[in-house]
């Protein structure tokens, strides 16, 4: 059964959903309503057209934005800002794609390589030291 790829579940926060707080998940999530707070995820996150997110920080494997996000974004794999999206905040990611007609205000920091550390399984000091060691590597 090792050949079977584990399929991630998809959760959708509907247009009528308003969430305020800290959200942690490992699967994939689509937000079509309003979100306020902090998101910590190891899966993929999609902010749908018309969705409004005000976050202290949004962390996920990959983040696709079609709606409005205010706050800092951290995606280990990629960030994609689709046409018509509005993003106000700093972005840290390995890859970024910005379509035409995107309103973006903030700074982008590119991650050179993904660390060999699962950031959800280690303490933040251990994660930071892994990043420092990688950046000191002359390769």
Statement: residue 25 has pLDDT above 60: yes
Using pLDDT thresholds of 50, 70 and 90, give the confidence band for residue 1.
very low
Does pLDDT of 30 surpass 50?
yes
Model confidence at 126, in pLDDT bands (50, 70, 90)? low
What share of the chain in percent tops pLDDT 70? 75
List C-alpha distances in Å: 18 to 12, 14, 60, 61: 12, 9, 20, 23
Q: Check pLDDT > 50 for residue 133.
A: no
Indicate if the pLDDT at residue 134 is higher than 50: no
C-beta of residue 20 within 8 angstroms of C-beta of residue 36: yes
Phi, psi (5° rounding) for residue 102? -110, 135
pTM of the model: 0.74
Query: Token match 């902090």: residue?
Result: 38
pLDDT of residue 116: 57
For the residues 108-118, what does the mean pLDDT come to?
Answer: 70
Model pLDDT, residue 112: 76
pLDDT at residue 7 is higher than 80: no
* pLDDT higher than threshold 90 for residue 44: yes
């Amino acid at each position: 059964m090792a050949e079977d790829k584990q399929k991630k579940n998809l959760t959708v926060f509907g247009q009528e959903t308003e969430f305020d707080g800290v959200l942690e998940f490992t699967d994939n999530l689509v937000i079509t309503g309003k979100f306020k707070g902090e998101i910590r995820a190891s899966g993929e996150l999609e902010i749908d057209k018309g969705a409004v997110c005000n976050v202290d920080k949004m962390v996920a494997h990959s983040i696709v934005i079609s709606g409005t996000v205010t706050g800092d974004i951290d995606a280990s794999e990629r960030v994609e800002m689709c046409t018509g999206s509005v993003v106000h905040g700093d972005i840290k990611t390995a890859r970024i794609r910005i379509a035409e007609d995107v309103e973006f205000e903030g700074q982008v920091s590119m991650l050179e390589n993904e660390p060999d550390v699962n950031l959800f399984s280690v303490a933040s000091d251990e994660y930071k030291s892994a990043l420092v060691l990688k950046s000191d590597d002359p390769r």
